[in-house]
Structure 1
Amino acid sequence: MTNLDIRGGAGDITKPDVKVRPQDNLYLAVNSEWLENNDIPSDRSRIARFDKIDIEIEKKLMQDFADFASGKKEIPAVPNLEKAVEFYKLAADFDKRNSDGAEPIQEDLKRLTSLNSLAEIGTKEFYTNMFALPFSFSVNPNMKNTKENMVDFNAPGLILPDTTSYQDPSSEKLLAVYKQQALNLLKMAGVASEQAQEYVENALKFDARLAKVVKSSEEAADYTASYNPTKLADFTAKINNLDIKQLLTDLFGKMPEVVNVIEPRYLEHFDELVNEENFAEIKGWIITHFINSVASYLSQDFREAAFPFRQALSGQPELASQIKQAYRMADSSFSDVVGVYYGQTYFGEAAKKDVEDMIHKMIDAYESRIKNNDWLSEETKQKAIVKLRALILKIGYPDKIEKIYDKLQVNPASLYETVKANNTKAVEENLAKLYKPVDRTTWLMPGNLVNACYDPQRNDITFPAAILQAPFYDVNADRATNYGGIGTVIAHEISHAFDNNGAKFDEFGNLNNWWTKEDYAEFKKRTQAEIDLFDGIKFGNTVLNGKQIVSENIADQGGLTAAISANKSEGGDAKKLFENFARIWGGKEYPEYRKMIVSIDVHAPGPERANVQSQQQEEFYNAFDVKESDGMWMDPEKRVIIW
């Protein structure tokens, strides 16, 4: 048994087995009954414990929005919530959307089909519109001085999920679906068949060029590799086919002294990709992206015509209902507003105080583990503890709503015009941050999102109200169960401060090496062991890439270890902790979705997160009396512990 690849336990982890023992497959022992009794909703591509919470939250908020819109319930005094409801009403008016058809986009579509040269796309007005471009600028904190902002230059996205997708045998079929979808949409919008064919074929040619140059998901997972500050003269010297100096001046008022290049390889190839010789391809690419991106704001016919490619990628059987789409659009456009409303309405102070207490306990447990660490020097330990104690906590929902929402408006003329105008305002708001100090109070997630995060550049951890409920957290549950749920999530986010990316930032969020040379060499060695631990694991119709998912795996490992320590200090039942840890990762998905998400996600699949991380913990073997002959056994010398 020990010579086999049993990472993740014995058996096919994608298939329920109610008879399996936790000693052979912890994940299936805990989740099989749930998996058998929970079907994937017809308008989704997966169902997971996260999703079950999200579905219930969505039901509540959809009902609230329906009641607000009908006047059955008074809209509470949450800033800009009234605008969110007006947006919802506009999106839900399918009589108008169906009557308008493609009319709302005709002016912009005509503008795109009339393009004659690269110079026309290199203007501020074009840049801030609803048009795809073969480059982008955004303003974000400077990694080495997070008090100030800087300009980031980035490459565009691809049609398929990742660069590796183009080498997969399924790529030809997927691109054929995309091609047919784009052709149908363009013809529905009034473009002649022959012309539509030319646009789409050119789009696919340009996308193929991009796929050979842009970063893969594995490369993008190395967060600090995206920090490449470049002097303006050196940056502009690489772009000779656009008046990039004029564009930068127009976008920012004055040219920045430095531009951070997210993808240096793309900049090196920019001129050979973006030039007049390739203009027909670029034009087709812009038009094709446009029609695919705006179709969802038009009639039901356009919505349905824009569904096949997403269906092919994800396996999702049906399009979401019209009213669900209306709510989701309002939620997306006014995310912070809806999140604050949700937090104020459904999140209790008792839960917040209890979770805050647990966070402090997890920080204490983490500090204890750092102090007792047997591979770090005292010098590095002290600096790690300084960073740990500097963590900023964001729990529930923010105290303020970002100013951008004051600027958003609802235009009764059409949903498309509303989205277009608000998109322009959002882009301009971001660009305007360049010469302003960084706002460290900004939240990266709204209160109604079932998730949590760590921001290395602010050294803060965010726990939205939505995730602070069962199975992650229950104010009435015993402590061990909560440690296995929200406790591991809390410590997971703390661990991101010390993963392969976060470990390069100091307590202020600055990119700064605070390690001794010897300690960092040992950390890299252990990081490689974590990569090797997951690399090559077969998961259904996919194979995991250990390097792509290493940062999240380090956080999972550190999170579970710290939660175990905290639980042990309170005399908690280790079995309950591990069972709930496995429970929170319960889920299933269509094979198409599984293949897509594994190619791009920096997280391991839930079943592997549950099983492989448990296999590293001595307490797991003790709690369930796991023997060498059992499926979950892993030889001690193969187990990986970092934090």
Structure 2
Amino acid sequence: MDSITDNIRMLMTKSKYKHAELDEDTTSMGSAHITEGISTSATHIHYYPSTSFWKLRSLLEKCLIILNCILLFLVFLFGCLLGSSEKVTTTVNTSYDVMHADLKTQIFNNLADHSSLCLDEKCVRTAATILASVDTRVDPCEDFYQFTCGSWIKHNPIPDAKASWSMFNILDLQNNFIVKNALEKPITSMKSKAEQKAKTYYMSCMDANETIEGLGAKPLLELLDKVGGWSISGKFNISSWRLQRTVETLMIDYSMMGFFSWYVSEDDRNSSRYTIVVDQSGLTLPTRDNYLNKTANEKLLSTYLDYMTKIGVLIGGDEKSTKEHMRHVIQFETELANITEKDEDRRDEEHIYNRMTVAELETLAPFISWHSFFNQAFRKVQRKITPQENVVVYAPNYLKQLTLLVNEYNSTTDGKIVLNNYLVWQTVKALTGYLSKAFRDAYKGLRKALFGSEGGEEPWKFCVSDTNSVLGFALGAMYVREVFNGNSKPMYQSALLLTSKQYYAQAEDMINNIRQAFKTNLLSLKWMDKETFKLAENKADAITDMIGFPNYIMDTKKLDEKYEDLEVRENEYFQNNIRASWHSLKVLLKKLDQPVNKTKWSMTPPTVNAYYTPTKNQIVFPAGILQAPFYDIKQQQALNYGGMGVVMGHELTHAFDDQGREYDKNGNLHQWWNNDTIARFKEQAECFVHQYNNYSINGISVNGKRTLGENIADNGGLKAAFHAYLQWSKQNAKKEHHLPALNYTHKQLFFIGFGQVWCSTTTEEATKLLLEKDAHSPANFRVVGPLMNLPEFSEVWNCPLGSKMNPVNKCEVW
């Protein structure tokens, strides 16, 4: 999905895993799609290239076709080599230079003892993938990321439509191929009404009849008339305008962004119940600094103004007056940015949690009637909100200052026009992606400025992703059937002969082994008191896990019930998205009085990601990520533990990072640690802050404070996974076979497997944005940072003390 919101989401999730904050039906009000708990859509771009087969292939697809041909040749080559291996004699030199000798020598060295050599198709493919990725000219003790990914980076340029490219993106594309094939089957073959709706929605997006192009701006103009008009399009009467009515109409009836965000979610302090949550929001550009640091962002702000002006003109505005109106909107957003709290200052969840009544919220921030606002929303599900209803406010200081700002603007006619223009702009820019090509083209310049790419992927790729955001669990059912019962691409061939339960059984064992390794590591901690240690051990035992997909999606009746109130029509793409917002809002509001279901999912099955939810104390691994190179039942366990095992350890460690540690084993936010232990934890964690602060790209430093939670999880996850693998290998040494053409030990393969899942390339613009916005460190530092802190890595690779990958001073929390 090509919008500011969507591109940020893709950069921060498609190339990394994270802990989740929302369940499958929960999301903030303020976006076009709010279904399934996935960040939603605003502006979209998709283009229609020529019909030539080769031209229709992306660079990745062309590379995959060529790679398959190469792999077939390698299989033939290995067969020939085996046939002549009795004539081969070699000597093995263990020096570093010979370890990285040419490919032919490595093949013969392995063949000398081919009794433990694996030469089936899976092993050949795996070996070829590793060989195509590593750069043996680089000393692994100097830069292990460049060693494991140097060749991959060289041979995997960023596709034209992308701002970044990684193993996550490749798997995501492969999964989308599977879903595409399922969606393009006849609608009569769909197993459920929900799947039929997914097919219909997909077809409305593909727009074979060019209905979208024919309608132009009409759907949006009709919506603007319903919400009271817009000064840009010329149909607006300031004398009858009321702030309260506009906020309620746009932020409730159309679920758009505004001055703040609000949603229904688990109560942090009592995770068995739901509560209304209010938080800061309202900026269009990714970061507050995009507005406040005008010198560094002069070009970006100018491009943003051009984009706004183009959209205004497309809906009938005069260019000169539109630009002037939009300049005032940017000024208002700048003032919002000035009162917006920094992400790194909001990491203490006990500190930002503020429970109050609706009446108290009205006293805190009286720029609107909150009682009226919430009643207007919950009236849709026949639920009354009283002044004594409790809400949780995460940004009380922001709301106080917002009140002063809004009241100042609302005191003059010109100020009211700015407020209306701002609110309506939030709606317009969120919906332009469902309109004709001219609206999508208008975004290209801003996207280029933000991400270094103009976008423009093939229609089917965009539409699969878009359908997943609206009917993701219906797509999930189709995906699961394709993977385990259909022809679902070579990377899933290990699954085709198994049931899903069989395929995921080994993954479940890995989780348990990593949990045990994490608990064992707790015993060596000197900074934790005995009482807190016991509570932490109990929390680790209490972590639940879900793997693959939720069972209900394979029950057509239950799946149909989930989407039964969602109406989808093939030639109504714009209206389908409006109806999707309404459906999701209704589901969300109904939850307020329901008990919390701790088995609901935050990600759809095809998603290449994983997450931890602190209020559920739960780790989840969707089917989409449980494939090579992360995981495969036919893959060497060294690679499974180095790939998926580290992901599992990462998510488990989130339960004990600087935020996760504030939640007890039942998912409730309160202080359950000894005060002295908290102080010592912070001392240990400060080491990570300093370590990652010293990393930089193009002169921009990593923010060690903002990325602290992810860095703790990266380091703890690697340690737990490696120790779990060591324990497994002691008990299963004879089960590990060597890969052809590779002269690495199984322990070394563990680290290679870990490094290679992070191989990626990113544009300079996107890198800058990630450094300024993301809670994760860049991919290369997510590899070298944890490895520098793990003594066992240097032992396995014989890295001298004081070398870059084996510094004297190391950081450790878990």
Q: TM-score range by the shorter chain?
A: over 0.9
- Contact residue 104 and residue 414 of structure 1 kept, 8 A: no
1:425-472 per-position Cα deviation (integer Å, ceiling 9, x unaligned): 212321222122212111111111110000000000000011111111
Q: What is the aligned partner in structure 2 of residue 578 from structure 1?
A: 751
In 2, are the aligned partners of 1:122 and 1:244 still within 8 Å (CA)? Answer: no
**1:281: how far off?**
1.8
Tell me the SS of whatever aligns to 1:229: strand
Structure 1's 134 and 26: CA in aligned 2 closer, same or farther, altered over 3 A?
Answer: same
Q: Output the CA distance in 2 between the equivalents of 1:372 and 1:344.
A: 45
Query: Could you tell me how far apart the structure 1 residues matched to 2:277 and 2:785 are?
Result: 37
For the aligned residue pairs, the C-alpha RMSD in angstroms reads 2.1
CA offset at residue 247 of structure 1? 1.7
- 1:282 is matched with 419
1:230, 1:261 within 8 Å by CA — same for their partners in 2?
A: yes
**Does 1:630 pair with 2:630?**
no
Residue 639 (structure 1) shift: 0.2
Q: Distance in 2 between matches of 1:63 and 1:487?
A: 30
The 5 Å alignment of 1:214-233 reads 214-233=340-359
**Which residue of 468, 473, 497 maps to 1:331?**
468
Q: Distance in 2 between matches of 1:318 and 1:161?
A: 17
Partner of 1:472: 630
2:783 alignment partner in structure 1: 610
| Residue identity in the other structure for 1:263 | A
Q: Distance in 1 between the 2:449 and 2:442 partners?
A: 13
One-letter amino acid of the structure 1 residue matched with residue 512 of structure 2: H
CA distance in 1 between counterparts of 2:330 and 2:249 reads 26
Q: Distance in 1 between matches of 2:376 and 2:789?
A: 54
Say yes or no: does 1:269 pair with 2:401: yes
Q: Deviations over 1:524-562 (max 9, x none)?
A: 111111111111311235210000000011111110111
1:237 match: secondary structure: helix
Cα deviation for residue 413 of structure 1 reads 5.6
2:504 alignment counterpart: 352
User: What is the match of residue 319 of structure 1?
Assistant: 456
Residues in 2 aligned to 1:413 and 1:484: alpha-carbon distance in whole angstroms: 47
Residue 736 (structure 2) aligns with: none
Provide the C-alpha distance between the structure 2 equivalents of 1:121 and 1:627, rounded to a whole number of angstroms.
Answer: 65
Pairing partner for 1:112 from 229, 233, 247 = 229
Aligned residue in 1 for 2:58: none
1:400-411 to 2 correspondences below 5 Å: 400-401=552-553, 404-411=562-569
Is the Cα contact below 8 Å between 2:718 and 2:786 reproduced in 1? Answer: yes
Pick closer, same or farther for the CA change 1:570–1:274 going to 2, 3 Å: same
Query: Which stretch has the larger CA shift, 157-166 or 291-300?
Result: 157-166
* 2:198 corresponding residue in structure 1: 84
Partner of 2:44: none
Q: 1:448-463, aligned counterparts within 5 Å?
A: 448-463=606-621
2:328 alignment counterpart: 202
Question: Match for 2:810: what amino acid?
Answer: R
Structure 1 CA distance for aligned equivalents of residues 476 and 508 of structure 2: 19
Q: How does 1:488-507 map to 2 (within 5 A)?
A: 488-507=646-665
Structure 2: how far apart are the matches of 1:406 and 1:378? 52
Per-residue deviation at 1:63? Answer: 2.8
Secondary structure of residue in 1 paired with 2:339: coil
Structure 1 residue 422: Cα displacement: 1.6
Seq. identity, %: 26
Residue segments in structure 2 that go unaligned for 5+ positions in a row: 1-132, 231-235, 379-383, 485-494, 554-558, 731-745
Partner of 1:185: 311
* Offset of residue 274 of structure 1: 1.8
- Asked if structure 2 preserves the Cα contact closer than 8 Å seen for 1:148 and 1:437, the reply is yes
In structure 1, C-alpha distance between the alignment counterparts of 2:314 and 2:220, rounded to whole Å: 12
Q: CA separation in 2, counterparts of 1:394 and 1:271?
A: 43
Residue in structure 2 matched with residue 639 of structure 1 by the alignment: 810
By how many angstroms is 1:103 displaced? 0.8
1:37 and 2:162 matched: no
Match of 2:528 among 345, 354, 376: 376
Equivalent of 2:438 in 294, 301, 309: 301
Deviation at 1:222, TM superposition (A): 4.2
1-structure distance, mates of 2:255, 2:797:
56
Question: Which of 391, 399, 413 matches 1:259?
Answer: 391
State the alpha-carbon separation in 2 of the partners of residues 243 and 629 from structure 1. 62
User: Does the residue aligned with 2:272 lie in a helix, a strand or coil?
Assistant: strand
Superposition deviation, residue 366 in structure 1: 1.4
CA–CA distance in 1 between the matches of 2:144 and 2:570? Answer: 54
- Give the counterpart of 2:364 among 227, 238, 241: 238
Matches of 2:255 and 2:224 in 1, distance apart? 11
In structure 1, stretches of 5+ residues that fail to align are: 1-14
Equivalent position SS for 2:335: helix
1:39, CA displacement in angstroms?
A: 1.7
What's the secondary structure of 1:434's corresponding residue? helix
**1:387 and 2:539 are equivalent in the alignment:** yes
- Contact 2:364–2:396 (Cα < 8 Å) also in 1: no
- Partner Cα distance (1:157, 1:223) in 2: 21
Conserved in 2, the CA contact under 8 Å of 1:261 and 1:267?
A: no
Q: Secondary structure at the match of 1:588?
A: strand
User: What is the distance in 1 between the residues matched to 2:676 and 2:324?
Assistant: 58
Q: Count residues with an aligned counterpart.
A: 623
Q: Partner of 1:393: helix, strand, or coil?
A: strand
- Tell me what 1:100 maps to: 215
Residue 8 of structure 1 aligns with which residue? none
Residue 561 in structure 1 maps to residue 719 in structure 2 = yes
The answer on 1:56 being equivalent to 2:158 is: no
Map of 2:57 onto structure 1: none
Taking a change above 3 Å as real, the CA distance of residues 193 and 317 of structure 1, as seen in their structure-2 partners, is: closer
